[in-house]
Chains A and B, each alone.
Chain A
Amino acid sequence: MLAFTSIDTLIIRSTGLVVAMFSGLVASGPFMRKGLADIKLVFLGALPILLGGFLGSFAAVKLSQHLGETGDSIVRLTLGLLLAAIAVIFVLGGASTEYPQARTKSRLATKLKLRHMYWEETLQKPVKYNAKNVKIAVFLLFAVGVTGGFFGLGGGWAVVPVLNLVMSVPLKVSAATSGVLLAMGNSAAIWPYINIGALIGVVAAPWMLGQIIGGIVGAHILSSIKAAFVRKLLIFMLLLTSFKLFSRGLEGLFNISIPMI
């Protein structure tokens, strides 16, 4: 919505949080039932994401009161760059990101028993994994919470790289766990927006209901599609959105019109 409409950014960000949150909330059921989301990883990241999300949305509300339309353009530009950078990381990571193997054992992860396995439908076998880099991941999840709350994204798009690239959790488990985590994080991040009247129910409702249906369908599809396809789809969506955000940001900052966008 930030990329494709001219609605006030605070309203868009609150709508974005609700939309992302309800998709994650409704998908939590199927993800947990299928064993795709890892509840230990969820509770490891819950507090940093909740705290970060709350602080991020609080900062967004305060900053928008001071920066106005220039602030909106800066938000769009920064977010565009951020999404492009994540897409590049997934491209460079290649197929090794689908089922990563932790080469070294993490003492903290071993102590917390952060090892699990899930049933991989496409391979018809269980896939084992050991998490690593717990401390770095907790710090990054806090940063993701702040960013997600600030931009109204929920942060799921960044939780996947943290779990997958930093903690060596398989891509599908990362995607499912991030869905559950982002729903949790947004549940705190939404309140600053509600308290300044930036959540317009009739605007959020159609998006939210569509996302609920999409969340249920997506959760069922995720278990049966190949991890490589998930990665390619993620890269495509990240690049497309970042391109649009970047151009809208430039249009706003320099008062120019970029054709065909």
Chain B
Amino acid sequence: MPIQKKPPIPISGVIYGEFIYWCTCISAIIVVFGTIKSFIEGSSDIPVEQLLDAVFAGQSADTIWASLPIGSTPNALTYLSLLNTGEAITVLGICLGVLSVGPAIFLSAAFMWRSKNKFFAITALFSGIFALVAPFVFFLT
């Protein structure tokens, strides 16, 4: 029986996968740090016990945030001004993972272009732009 050879693996895919993989690992470390800080910090604008009680009581997001010392519903920008709280650090970690998709797509698109897959390089470019623009759309509306 002839020995079957393993097919080659496209470099553009490997680049995409590795970039995303390591960014996710870093974001997971930040999330762990933020979560631990949430539970050990004394007083905070976002007290974790109160937050969890409200969540598990089935309250809506608006009601939950209104009942906390922060007083109003946060958006992505609010979290940036609350980076001394564990909750905001946790959300920052999550956002880092989310935002890693854009640069990973651009890197992969460059290798796609070099390997003469121009159509997919262009579609990737548009996807990357959309992934990076998506967070800012709501600040414009």
A104-126 interface bits toward B, Cβ cutoff 8 Å, 1 = contact, 0 = none: 00000000110011110000111
- Chain A residues with CB under 8 A of B61: 8, 10-11, 196-198, 200
| A73-127 interface (Cβ within 8 A of B) | 112-113, 116-119, 124-126
Closest to A203 in B: B55
CB proximity of A10 to chain B, nearest CB, Å: 6
Q: B7 contacts which of A47, A118, A208 (Cβ < 8 Å)?
A: A118
Contact of A174 with B by CB under 8 A: no
The residue in chain B whose Cβ has the minimal distance to the Cβ of A186 is: B98
Bound-complex Cα distance A21 to B131 (A):
13
Determine if B73 is an interface residue (Cβ-Cβ < 8 Å): yes
In the bound complex, CA of A198 to CA of B88 (Å): 13
Contacts of B112 in A (CB 8 A): 39, 43
Q: How many pairs of A and B residues are in contact by the CB < 8 Å rule?
A: 206
B34-A205 in contact (CB<8A): yes
In the bound assembly, the distance between CA atoms of A31 and B17 in angstroms comes to: 8
Query: Any chain B CB within 8 A of the CB of A201?
Result: yes
Please tell me the size bucket of the interface on B: 35 or more
The answer to whether A208 and B94 touch (CB under 8 A), given A40-B120, A44-B123, A124-B4, is yes
Interfacial chain A residues near B75, Cβ < 8 Å = 194-197
A212 at the interface (CB under 8 A from B): yes
By the criterion CB–CB under 8 Å, are B58 and A6 in contact?
Answer: yes
Q: Which residues on A sit within 8 Å (CB–CB) of B34?
A: 201, 205
> Closest chain A residue to B36 by CB distance?
A205
A162 is an interface residue with CB less than 8 A from chain B: no
User: Can you list 29 pairs linking A and B with CB atoms under 8 Å apart?
Assistant: A7-B56, A11-B55, A30-B17, A31-B17, A32-B13, A33-B17, A37-B17, A39-B10, A39-B12, A40-B10, A40-B117, A42-B13, A43-B108, A43-B120, A43-B127, A54-B134, A191-B76, A191-B137, A191-B138, A197-B64, A197-B65, A199-B94, A200-B64, A201-B90, A202-B87, A205-B31, A205-B32, A208-B94, A209-B31
* 10 A-B pairs with least C-beta separation: A32-B17, A29-B21, A201-B90, A39-B13, A197-B73, A46-B127, A35-B9, A188-B134, A187-B101, A32-B13
